[in-house]
Amino acid sequence: MNDDDGSLEGVVAAHTVLSEVDGETGRLVIRGHELDEIAQRWRYEDVVALLFEGFFDTVPSQEALRAAIGRARREAFEQLQPNDADVLRRMSPIEAVRALMARLSDGDDLPTALRLLAAPAVYTAAVMRWRLGVQALAPNADLPHAADMLRMLHGLAPTAMQTAALDTYLVTVCDHGLNASTFAARVVASTGAGLTSAVLAGISALKGPLHGGAPGPVLDMLDAIGTAAHARVWLEEAVASGQRLMGFGHRIYRVRDPRADALKGALHRLGAEGSVDAARLELAEAAEQAALAILREKKPDRALETNVEFYTALLLEALGFGRESFTCVFAAGRVVGWLAHAREQVAKGRLIRPQSVYVGPAPEESSEGAGAV
């Protein structure tokens, strides 16, 4: 435990049934399921059912849940106002999504949770279209959540492989222990403020570049490298000049980041159907191999492996998300974790109220007091 750097590193602040991050063995367990097992096969709706189970009176299963999330997307869309496009396209996408989410009514019940769950997908697509000067598209409540998010963004039906790739992403980022945004959501939930307030706290924490803003720089790095043939030289020079290679290394994972493997698999499946630019894939593979070799030489005693951000960047880019929207797509996946953690915290029935140690100046003794007998 480090008690003076402000990070709370090593402090246990919750017991949770929702996820376990095992940095030593490189495993992520989502409520009893290895991420490796569910990331490729599950739809986002499946992980919603898993994480919500027991935290609401009744959680519909399978098709009924998918239909309920579809209706919730429609309810979120109905909140949009005629002048939103003009006002909100001037903000960063995550700030615009947060502003729209703040209009949703607060509460602690399942309908509130489903609206909050559905809304980031609807609002991300709307905001990104407004930035291109085109109208937002209404949800199709009959589609699976990931398929409809891609359709609302592009105005075209996605392929089954593209939908599966987005499902893999959303499932992969659904929850990750007591990360900063989840902790923020739990603190707000513990005050009894309601799920909307808790989710807004989560979005606000995610917005920071140290948490949700990292994959964009991975693409900036690949753009700067340019071609596969140039990867090794560029990366060697970068490391020699003291730069960090974006998308490599992790504070907790000391072996491998299981999320990177899940997303890499999805990217390669997309590549096999021709949905990824071949030159981009070649560049990414060359950059990854060169970076791992260089980092092994630099730090032979320390496993610096590919992290989640490297393949998030490539996968979301291949699915047609602009890099400025990556944090919003992250929120669309992580929102289920925030909601489940908020409910888990509320069930504990206690306000989160840690203590601080005062290290400021002592009050000066007043002249009156000093002279008193």
Binding site for ligand ACO (CB under 6 A): 214, 239, 244-251, 295, 299, 302, 304, 307-309
95 catalytic residue (yes or no)? no
Rg (CA), the chain: 22
CB of 278 to ligand ACO, least distance (A): 25
* Residue among 4 and 5 whose Cβ is closer to ligand ACO: 5
Instruction: Please pick, among 45, 288, 305, 309, the residue that the annotation labels catalytic.
Output: 309
DSSP secondary structure letters along 137-206: PPP-TTS-HHHHHHHHHHSSPPPHHHHHHHHHHHHHTS--SS-HHHHHHHHHHHTT--HHHHHHHHHHHH
Distance CA 52, CA 59 (A): 7
- Cβ proximity to ligand ACO: between 29 and 118 the closer is 29
Please say which residue, 23 or 107, places its beta carbon nearer to ligand ACO: 23
Nearer to ligand ACO, 66 or 250 (CB): 250
Residue 366: exposure state from Cβ atoms within 10 A (0-12, 13-18, ≥19): exposed
Strand partners, 28: 21
Closest approach of ligand ACO to the CB of residue 257, in Å: 7
Distance, in Å, from the CA atom of 98 to the CA atom of 162, rounded to the nearest integer, reads: 26
Task: Give yes or no: 309 in active site.
Answer: yes
Two tokens, residue 173: 């980022």
Shortest distance in whole angstroms from residue 245 CB to ligand ACO: 4
Q: What order do you get walking across the sheet with 27-30 strand by strand?
A: 19-22, 27-30, 33-34
Burial of 33 (0-12, 13-18, 19+ CB in 10 A): middle
| Maximum separation of any 2 CA atoms in the chain, in Å | 88
- Least Cβ distance, residue 32 to ligand ACO (angstroms): 23
Q: How many Å apart are CA 276 and CA 263, to the nearest integer?
A: 13
246: left (phi over 0), alpha (psi -120 to 50) or beta: beta
Nearer of residues 300 and 369 to ligand ACO, judged by Cβ? 300
Question: Residue 209 CB, nearest distance to ligand ACO (Å)?
Answer: 10
> Which residues are annotated as catalytic?
250, 309
